[in-house]
Structure 1
Amino acid sequence: MGAAMNPPSMSEAKPAAGRRRGRIQLLLIVLGVVGPMVLATGMYKLQFWVPEGRSYHGELIGNGQTRADLGVAADEERWQMLVTAPGDCAADCQQLVYLARQIQIGLGRDAGRASHALAAAQPLGADYEARLARDYPQLQRYPLDTAGLRKTAGDASAPQLWIIDPHGNLVLRYGPDVNGKDLLNDLRHLLKLSNIG
């Protein structure tokens, strides 16, 4: 009769169980590190479980477009509220310029981190020019290339207000009917989150 098989002793069974437990722990650690990255990539690529709510009020511009793409040649190293006037700077355009100035004042101690500007495609009327010189001494002024604005903004017939970061990237866009309180809240939130400008 052949030699009887000896069952594994208790001392041999313990290392095998320890190795199995170690492998399970390693697998859990790897899943804990890699799993969230795979889940986030899947959520982004397949657009599932993406929250519908948002905390900003303007139209988010997240495609890498810059102030130069708007048709504005400027070099500002602060956050900027830029009003673009593709046509005559009429009442709605003038309201946006006024609002940008009021928002900057409303920033309080952070007012120095932002500026307000007007980019106009056409010369302004003499009365409005005099008013800007008198009432808006810090307003930066730029010429506007409407061809660049049309490429960037699509329908570029109405004046718009843009929030631009210190690197010149377009962040948010607002139409002439923007609520000033919403705009102020958006800019305050951006300044709070930002380490630049």
Structure 2
Amino acid sequence: MSGSNSSAPGGHPSPEPLNFSVHALPDPRDSARVRVGRLKMLFILALCAAPVVASYLAFYVFKPRGSAYGELILPTVELPSSLPLRDLAGRRVAPDALRQQWLLVVVQGADCPATCERVLYVQRQLREMLGKERDRLDKVWLIPTEADTDAPLALRPELQAAVSQPGVEVAVLRAPAAALQAWLQPAPGQTLADHLYVVDPMGRWMLREPIEDDPVKIKRVMGDLQRLLKASASWDTPGR
């Protein structure tokens, strides 16, 4: 018989030939590119953080501890996000409003007798002594209260005029005494009113200074502030 039968015996079609698909293996160069990308990202993050880390190392580590006249707070204490701050009119003030600037903080009562006025004077003088760097430091007066209330709080007219004087303004805020003591701490045997508190632009309390009347000792406090501002000059800018 001429020709050929295309069907298998028994009338069943012949099985289809097997097909083998060969898939490409992962390119080792892709994993290498991923690793390089990650390393670049880590390098950029480290580069951004380097100035902040370097300034803190310069003040905390490489400088001898005895070079600070005040007491370094280690570890630093973060500004509580729940701190109930109010202005004198009773309006709420967000704690974040105290960030992005170095702060020189005093804690004094609203009655502010002669000793309190002297503290405010020392605070003002220290800032003025910074010269061109003074715009990087804000003065803050925290008034401890018995409770969190929105009732207005009035200062003596002459005191109000002093803290509101153009060029020497003081940010006057109030908060419950217990809340302030949960953030700022006096030295053993002393009260919150016995110190100046230095807070960095990220809201961390990091230095406690004695309140001095002696010009020589005031100069030592001044030295601490100057070192802090110099160490942070690469990443901190004046104004909020």
Q: Does 1:196 align with 2:235?
A: yes
Alpha-carbon distance change, 136 to 90 in structure 1, aligned in 2, over 3 angstroms? farther
Cα deviation 1:107-130 (Å, max 9, x = unaligned): 112112111111112543333112
Q: 1:181 aligns with which of 209, 219, 237?
A: 219
Q: Which secondary structure state, in structure 2, belongs to the residue aligned with residue 64 of structure 1?
A: strand
Q: 1:97 to 1:108 in 2, by over 3 A?
A: same
Give the corresponding residue for 1:170.
Answer: 205
CA shift digits 1:62-90 (9 cap, x unpaired): 22313438955343311111111256422
Query: What is the CA RMSD across the aligned residues, in angstroms?
Result: 2.9
Q: Secondary structure at the match of 2:67?
A: coil
Are the counterparts in 2 of residues 86 and 121 from structure 1 also a CA contact under 8 Å? yes
Q: Give the aligned partner of residue 116 of structure 1.
A: 139
1:63 alignment counterpart: 75
Mapped to 2, the partners of 1:135 and 1:96 lie a distance apart of: 19
Rg bigger for which structure? 2
TM-score (norm 1): 0.62
Contact 1:79 1:115 in 2 (8 A): yes
Equivalent residues of 1:117, 1:139 under 8 A apart: yes
Identity score, percent: 24
Q: Give unmatched runs, 5+ long, in structure 1.
A: 1-50
Partner of 2:66: 54
Q: Which sits farther off after the overlay, 59-68 or 130-139?
A: 130-139
Between 124-133 and 105-114, the greater mean CA deviation after superposition:
124-133
- Aligned partners of 1:85 and 1:160 also within 8 Å: no
Q: CA deviation at 1:187?
A: 0.4
| 2:53 corresponds to | none
1:147 is the counterpart of 2:178: yes
Instruction: State which of 95, 120, 129 in structure 2 corresponds to 1:97.
Output: 120
**More displaced 10-residue stretch of structure 1: 78-87 or 129-138:** 129-138
Q: Distance in 2 between matches of 1:53 and 1:149?
A: 27
Tell me: CA distance 1:53–1:59, structure 2 relative to 1, closer, same or farther (3 Å).
closer
- Partner amino acid for 1:85? Q
Secondary structure of 1:158's match? helix
Distance of 1:161 and 1:189 partners within structure 2: 16
Q: Distance in 2 between matches of 1:182 and 1:101?
A: 16
* 1:192–1:137 distance in 2 versus 1, CA, 3 Å: closer
AA in 1 matched with 2:164: A
Cα gap change, 1:102 to 1:143, in 2 (>3 Å): same
Q: Deviations over 1:137-183 (max 9, x none)?
A: 43212113310233341553534311111001111112333632111
Find the aligned partners of 1:109 and 1:119 in 2 and give their Cα distance.
Answer: 25
Work out whether residues 124 and 168 of structure 2, in 8 Å CA contact, stay in contact via their aligned partners in 1: no
**Could you tell me whether the CA contact under 8 Å between 1:87 and 1:157 is conserved in 2?**
no
Structure 1 residues 146 and 156, CA gap change in structure 2 (3 angstroms): farther
